[in-house]
Amino acid sequence: QEYSNSTYSNFSEASRAFLTMTMRPWLANFEQQIKNALLVASPVPGIRYQVEFDSADLLRATPGERFATYERGIKSGVMCPNEAREREGLSPRDGGDEFSQAWKQEVKISEGEKPE
């Protein structure tokens, strides 16, 4: 396929398609083979060993998509700002371990007032 005139979006989609259509079946097979050949049952009850290839970098979203996801996660209290910074390879900032309380906020309208 010709990629000389491709945009980042086109290349990103092609990478995702390559991973899901070509690599994923091979990776699943390798994971199963490694698990069967190398892993033994854990001596501790309730503990399971797992083999999984990390393909997150191949599926990495565009910067705009990532930051929109971080914003939603932070505002909903699912992640703190320092977790988003860590995922982007940035150092933590003071106060960044605090979770947002925005999801708890309510807007109260007094009688007679109209919302804008």
Query: Domain residue spans in the chain?
Result: 1-58, 61-103
**pTM (two decimals):** 0.49
- Cα–Cα distance, 14 to 11 (Å, whole number): 5
- Which is more confident, 69 or 16? 69
- Cα–Cα distance, 86 to 112 (Å, whole number): 47
Percent of the chain scoring above 70 in pLDDT: 81
**Secondary structure (DSSP) of 54-104:** --GGGGPPPHHHHHHHHHHHHHTTSS-HHHHHHHTTPPP-TTTTSPP-GGG
pLDDT over threshold 80, residue 108: no
pLDDT over threshold 90, residue 79: yes
Q: What is the pLDDT of residue 8?
A: 62
Residue 77's nearest CA partner among 57, 96, 104, 112 is: 104
**Any idea of the CA torsion for 4, 7, 10, 15, to the nearest 10 degrees?**
70
Residue 53's nearest CA partner among 25, 22, 27 is: 27
- Cα–Cα distance, 103 to 95 (Å, whole number): 18
